[in-house]
Structure 1
Amino acid sequence: MHMRHLNEQLVRVLKTIGYDVGFQKGQGQYLYDRQGARYLDLLSGFGVFAIGRNHPALREALKSVLDADLPNLVQLDVSTLAGVLAERLLEHVPYLDKVFFANSGAETVEAAIKFARAATGRPGIVYCTHSFHGLSYGALSLTDDTNFRSGFEPLLPGCTPVPFNDLEALEKALSSRQVGAFIVEPIQGKGVNLPTDEFLPGALALCRKYGTLFIADEIQTGIGRTGKFLAVEHWGIEPDMVLLAKALSGGHVPIGALLTRKHIFDKIFNQMDRAVVHGSTFGKNDLAMAAGIATLDVIKHEKLVEQAAKRGAELRLALTRMVPGYELMKEVRGKGLMIGVEFGPPKSLRLKASWNLLETANKGLFCQLITVPLFKDHKILTQVAGHGLHTIKLLPPLTITEDDCAWIEKAFDEVIAGSHKVPGAIWSLGKTLVDNAVRKSA
């Protein structure tokens, strides 16, 4: 049915790399295929399943909403559940005052663009190189990836990139005083790139200097992912807008939330005839609101923010200890349970020839020599951190255990060791991937 009616190319990709195992069940941090084999999920739906799959508290919350016969989406009314969720979110971000609910991360970014332009009267939006903010037109205009942008240009005018971690370039862009907002991921999802300790505080100071709004895109980093409720807390800054989505859904009902200051919100909804000047039909639906409330409750009661900090530190340390022993390993970085394992060109002639063959066929192909055996031989699902990159991203549910971390460590050690054996099984896989890449380009 997918081949006939949906994305045929995705099906081909899954078959090519051996991921067509037919997952039948998800429970916590584990997936089960059609044969009943258990997998450890380090992808978590691109960060959606922070509390794990099918959490019983979330399921009960959603059932209770369905059983209550609530007057959902009346539109000419206000939602109690939306009010409760907004209040709960703002308790975590007390310097902000107002919440706008949408249906996804990308839709939340679109709202932020509109709010910034309306509140400041300025058309410009500045974003960072290597950023990812979504794939709808406005969000794509702030996403620095030619693979995603190609074929869809021209995009939204007035959007300007500056290098990540470059305060001088940012000041040059803001000094025109035509920039309504600077939007940034506190830790970039594409590559798991961390800011310097000076960058985010310095960027906020520049935004204040030039009257530009500071937007923190916490769609992937927020809700405890990095060992703090928000990633910006690591650098002690208070943005003008915070964007949330992904994990807030609990994995069942899509939701996005834009948190902002009252004076910004009041510039958009400034009089009664503009009460609905921006909105989203399903944005405050009862199931999404209940999912958000239940997710925050689970994170609090199970101390998952603290768990992310503890398990993340242990896992980064274990993986970092491998770096000196493997010339293909370059660096392990991240915060909490958002971790990047970066590989790089080897020095030995024996490995260099094989590495160059892969890179010539398709930049970044080496990481598939790690992710595919992790999946097939060790039942670990993970991903490359972006198109053409040499970094594997670990984004597990925040519920992973000490035993899960040992599973990860052992699997990575064995697979990376195998990647240093030429010839060997992993490089035979590499030849297959190169042949596929060559056929694709022919």
Structure 2
Amino acid sequence: MSFSIAELLAQHSTDKFELHEKHLNNQMVRVLKTIGYDRNYKRANGQYLYDEHDNEYLDLLSGFGVFAIGRNHPSVISALQETLTLELPNLVQLDVSILSGLLAKELLKTTPDNLDKVFFCNSGTEAVEAAIKFARYTTKRSKIVYCEHGYHGLTMGALSLNGEHIFREGFGPLLPDCVAVPFNDLAALEKALSNKDVAAFIVEPIQGKGVNLPDDNYLPEVERLCKKYGTLFVADEIQTGIGRTGKFWAIEHWNVKPDMICMAKALSGGFVPVGAVAMTHHIMDSVFNRMDRAVVHGSTFSKNNMAMAAGLASLEVIKAENLVENSAKVGEDIISTLNAMSGKYEFLKEARGKGSMIAIEFNAPKSLSLKAAWVMLETANKGLFCQMITIPLFKEHRILTQVAGHGMNVVKLLPPLILTQKDRDHIIQSFEKTIADTHQVPGSIWDLGKNLASHALKNKKN
């Protein structure tokens, strides 16, 4: 039998949008075509994407943080190729594997010293599902507290902890006993925990939707309150972890020790889905407390050799190439340089974040002409101004970014941790040019704004 992926790709090189319109989510194709993101990418290397005309794009999304070490890293490719040729036993199930043991050992070298067990799964949302189940079983409580505007995944358990209404709408009823509190509000958290009936409080150290940072005392007080009321403290580091914020784990910025850390995304270098939960031995031993309970929670493809090999190789790359340090250095430079522009441009409120998790927020200006233009967009659809930033960045400067969440004027950057000085200069120059253009009313960028507003109003009518 002769089968070639390369030949298959060559035969269908221009068919991807048609295939998705016919067989997958056609609304995603509509979105891409509406905002002009319908490119045919042919290859990827590091922080760059290349289209069919060999145009180079700087990818500041990195697959929503998956490609922290860049795309197609040769070291991970080599590890996966080697794993394939070794003819290893894989997923024997009534067995335990060497590679999963080694990856768990390496991960625990990076976590706080109270965590000494690892559970592997296939994704971030599966990690959250595991944390929910493990917390409930360990504490013999059912209630889970989470934060408004938080994001923990889209499977039913994780969705029940999702603080954004648009993701939850129409999928209920969700899990009972899930209670939301405002992020960064210790009084609300203590009130929610005070009845001593909460199994776990799950929180992103930095919220992904909007890149919202906590006050300096927030997470240390979260840890104290959870201990006081017998609640497990779960840090969702699926996006913030593994070097993203300039520390290996974001919790290191506040020197806290959660009872569980959920992780995924960057763990496998973007090649093979893998997620994990690091936890105390008390939690692991509570759930898997007898031989007949050895399989009460798991996943068929978790701990597969390819995922484990990718994880081991990715951790080695991060260490060998000093990517955590590079994330901190380049990210801080970008944030401070953009902030220095805020006095020059009325629309620019601030840049914020840690390491390579960055938000650029825009707000209503004071000048009458600019304010009128802003109101026109906001009336059509709250948060629409940011599309006037992201679309020109993509079309004119070939930089891929995203709006940080629904109804907010925040552009979010989650670049690979390998950005160079050249990349940094390109980012700064492109943002300044685009922001400056928005201050020219009327101007070509506001023709785009009017078109966006028109589309938004039509969608509201439909």
TM-score, normalised relative to structure 1: 0.99
The one-character-per-residue Cα deviations of 1:59-99 (angstroms, maximum 9, x if unpaired) are 00000111111110000010100000000000111320100
Residue of 81, 95, 116 corresponding to 2:135: 116
CA distance in 2, matches of 1:138, 1:322: 42
| 1:279 Cα deviation after fit | 0.3
Give the alignment of 1:317-328 within 5 angstroms: 317-328=336-347
Aligned-residue RMSD, C-alpha: 0.6
CA distance in 1, matches of 2:52, 2:119: 41
- The alignment status of 1:278 with 2:297, answered yes or no, reads yes
| 1:361 Cα deviation after fit | 1.0
CA distance in 1, matches of 2:341, 2:301: 47
In the other structure, the counterpart of 2:60 is 42
In the other structure, the counterpart of 2:40 is 22
CA distance in 1, matches of 2:423, 2:204: 28
Give the alignment of 1:199-278 within 5 angstroms: 199-278=218-297
In the other structure, the counterpart of 2:103 is 85
CA distance in 1, matches of 2:31, 2:330: 32
In the other structure, the counterpart of 1:70 is 88
Gaps of at least 5 residues in structure 2 are 1-18
In the other structure, the counterpart of 1:377 is 396
In the other structure, the counterpart of 1:100 is 119
CA distance in 1, matches of 2:326, 2:221: 30
Letter in 1 for 2:380: A
Q: Report if aligned partners of 2:144, 2:178 keep a CA contact under 8 Å in 1.
A: yes
| 1:413 Cα deviation after fit | 0.2
The one-character-per-residue Cα deviations of 1:244-282 (angstroms, maximum 9, x if unpaired) are 100002011000010000011111000000000000100
> For 2:30, what is the secondary structure of its paired residue?
helix
Residue of 422, 428, 433 corresponding to 1:403: 422
Letter in 1 for 2:290: Q
Letter in 1 for 2:161: L
Q: Report if aligned partners of 2:348, 2:361 keep a CA contact under 8 Å in 1.
A: yes
The one-character-per-residue Cα deviations of 1:402-428 (angstroms, maximum 9, x if unpaired) are 110000000000000001111111110
> For 2:41, what is the secondary structure of its paired residue?
coil
The one-character-per-residue Cα deviations of 1:37-63 (angstroms, maximum 9, x if unpaired) are 000000000000000000000000000
In the other structure, the counterpart of 2:212 is 193
CA distance in 2, matches of 1:154, 1:106: 18
The one-character-per-residue Cα deviations of 1:12-45 (angstroms, maximum 9, x if unpaired) are 1100111001111110000001111000000000
Letter in 2 for 1:198: N
TM-score, normalised relative to structure 2: 0.95
CA distance in 1, matches of 2:445, 2:166: 27
Residue of 137, 143, 146 corresponding to 2:165: 146
In the other structure, the counterpart of 1:11 is 29
The one-character-per-residue Cα deviations of 1:146-169 (angstroms, maximum 9, x if unpaired) are 111111122111110111111000
Runs of 4+ displaced beyond 6 Å: none
> For 2:90, what is the secondary structure of its paired residue?
coil
CA distance in 2, matches of 1:321, 1:41: 24
Give the alignment of 1:121-140 within 5 angstroms: 121-140=140-159
Q: Percent identity?
A: 63
Letter in 2 for 1:423: P
> For 2:176, what is the secondary structure of its paired residue?
coil
> For 1:101, what is the secondary structure of its paired residue?
strand
> For 1:416, what is the secondary structure of its paired residue?
helix
Aligned residues: 442
Letter in 1 for 2:48: Y
| 1:440 Cα deviation after fit | 1.5
| 1:353 Cα deviation after fit | 1.2
Letter in 2 for 1:29: Q
The one-character-per-residue Cα deviations of 1:299-337 (angstroms, maximum 9, x if unpaired) are 000000011111111111111111111110111110001
> For 1:61, what is the secondary structure of its paired residue?
helix
CA distance in 1, matches of 2:35, 2:394: 10
CA distance in 2, matches of 1:156, 1:140: 9
Letter in 1 for 2:117: K
CA distance in 2, matches of 1:7, 1:424: 35
Q: Report if aligned partners of 2:41, 2:50 keep a CA contact under 8 Å in 1.
A: yes
Q: Report if aligned partners of 2:21, 2:29 keep a CA contact under 8 Å in 1.
A: yes
The one-character-per-residue Cα deviations of 1:326-369 (angstroms, maximum 9, x if unpaired) are 11011111000101000011111101111111111111111000
CA distance in 2, matches of 1:437, 1:333: 28
- The alignment status of 1:56 with 2:74, answered yes or no, reads yes
In the other structure, the counterpart of 1:426 is 445
> For 2:343, what is the secondary structure of its paired residue?
helix
